[in-house]
Amino acid sequence: MRLIFASLLTISLISCNKEANTYTLEGDAVGFADGTEIVVYTFENNQPKPIDTLKVMQGKFSATYPKSDTIPLNFLRINEANASILFFPENENMQAKIYKDSIKASRITGGEQNAAYNSFVDKMDSFNKKKQERMEQFRTANQENDTAAIAKIQSENLNLVSEETEYKKQYLDEYNNTLFAVMLISDMAGRKEITPAEASAYVEKLDPKVASSQLAKDLKTNLDSMKKADVGSAAPNFSAQTPTGETMSLKDAMGKYTIIDFWASWCKPCRMENPNVVKVYNEYHDKGLNIISVSLDKEGQKDKWMKAIKDDKMDWFHVSNLQFWQDPIAKQYSVRSIPATFLLDENGMIIDKDLRGAALEAKIATLLGGE
């Protein structure tokens, strides 16, 4: 009897130990055929890395994973639905509900981070629904040439955007212990909803464990770089090859006021904006305006870059490393979308950013119109 009891105790201890060191992911896959593969990814050195492949059987899937001291960021990838679902393992059992015909409505629950993330997604869905309603109202008002209704809708939309931004800020204050907060800070800074300085302030408020994650460390590095190219900072110097193969630096291109213009021949919004920039340059170049354009064209496409310069009549300074989004100057200025512009004074200080169309013309007119 004593031997049997000892054996049962050993089995019990092994079972408890196994349970204490693992967590489960169990899910319902609604609408997916048996055998559908669901690949589990994590991030390693900022790169997605597959760690498991699950198969749907009778509308369900499950897996068991070892607990970890790290704070991982994972996602499920279902190639058949061409969709991914983000989730945050916290060493707690999780439940997934995935709909083939509505990935957007799919959710993974279990743990505080997933709860916080899901509440954010639900709130964003409500904002997006309101935006869609405003868009439909605007189309109707525009068709009916109802100027009063158009003005009212535009005002309401501005208020809605402001309300959304305020909600995001409140979220960052309340959920500074989540990894998604790091992602949200990065997204808001990239969208210019908050300044790099504001973003850094939120990073400083992060829970120490979250702040020690690689994602947070990388964000801090990026923000430090962004602040170096923010309004009020000295524009970082750079140099690259001109279309004729000479090396030109920013300092070589400086005027009384200078625009650094990030663009590319393949960028349609850039090409649409170019006539506006050409107009401003032609009007104010003799009064001290210089422009140096940095192209993010691809390797082996120098001819397309040069043709676009000629076609768009961009008669000013041009440089490019022909390295697409890996361009070191774009990284130096934390440029994540184009067109992007930086306006410098004669001392090389950044005095404004991302001015386009009428806003660009008005700004330069204010600076040089009386010259």
Mean pLDDT of 204-221: 92
Count of domains for the chain: 3
Give the tens place of pLDDT for each residue, 277-297: 999 999 999 999 999 999 999
Omega cis (within 30) before 339: yes
Q: In this structure, is residue 9 part of a structural domain?
A: no
The answer on 122 and 83 residing in a single domain is no
226-235: burial string, b at 16+ Cβ within 10 Å, e else: bbbbbeeeeb
The answer on 349 and 245 residing in a single domain is yes
For residue 2, the model assigns a pLDDT of 40
The answer on 244 and 307 residing in a single domain is yes
Asked if residues 313 and 277 have their Cβ atoms less than 8 Å apart, the reply is no
For residue 46, the model assigns a pLDDT of 76
Task: Give the span between the Cα atoms of 45 and 165, in whole angstroms.
Answer: 30
Q: In this structure, is residue 223 part of a structural domain?
A: yes
The answer on 335 and 256 residing in a single domain is yes
For residue 57, the model assigns a pLDDT of 96
Q: In this structure, is residue 15 part of a structural domain?
A: no
Return the CATH number at 306: 3.40.30.10
Question: Which of 57, 92, 108 lies at the terminal end of a domain, its last residue?
Answer: 108
Question: Which of 228, 250, 272 lies at the terminal end of a domain, its last residue?
Answer: 228
Asked if residues 324 and 297 have their Cβ atoms less than 8 Å apart, the reply is yes
Q: In this structure, is residue 1 part of a structural domain?
A: no
The answer on 256 and 224 residing in a single domain is no
Give the tens place of pLDDT for each residue, 244-268: 999 999 999 999 999 999 999 999 9
For residue 326, the model assigns a pLDDT of 93
The answer on 263 and 149 residing in a single domain is no
- Closest to 333 (Cα-Cα) out of 309, 300, 325, 154: 325
The answer on 158 and 89 residing in a single domain is no
> Secondary structure of 209-272 in the HEC alphabet?
HHHCCHHHHHHHHHHHHHHHCCCCCECCCCEEECCCCCEEEHHHHCCCEEEEEEECCCCHHHHH
209, pLDDT greater than 80 = yes
- Closest to 32 (Cα-Cα) out of 86, 79, 85, 91: 79
The answer on 126 and 88 residing in a single domain is no
The answer on 84 and 26 residing in a single domain is yes
Q: Give the range of the structural domain holding residue 69, as residue numbers without chain letter.
A: 21-108
Question: Which of 79, 108, 137 lies at the terminal end of a domain, its last residue?
Answer: 108
The answer on 217 and 311 residing in a single domain is no
| Cα separation values, 332 from 225, 237, 302, 354, Å | 7, 9, 22, 16
192 CB neighbour count, 10 Å cutoff: 11
The answer on 136 and 73 residing in a single domain is no
Give the tens place of pLDDT for each residue, 323-359: 999 999 999 998 988 999 999 999 999 999 999 999 9
Q: For residue 263, which phi and psi values (nearest 5 degrees)? A: -155, -175
Which of 79 and 28 is assigned the larger pLDDT? 28
For residue 43, the model assigns a pLDDT of 87
pTM: 0.71
Q: In this structure, is residue 120 part of a structural domain?
A: yes
The answer on 200 and 253 residing in a single domain is no
Q: In this structure, is residue 180 part of a structural domain?
A: yes
322: left (phi over 0), alpha (psi -120 to 50) or beta: left
Q: In this structure, is residue 181 part of a structural domain?
A: yes
Return the CATH number at 33: 2.60.40.10
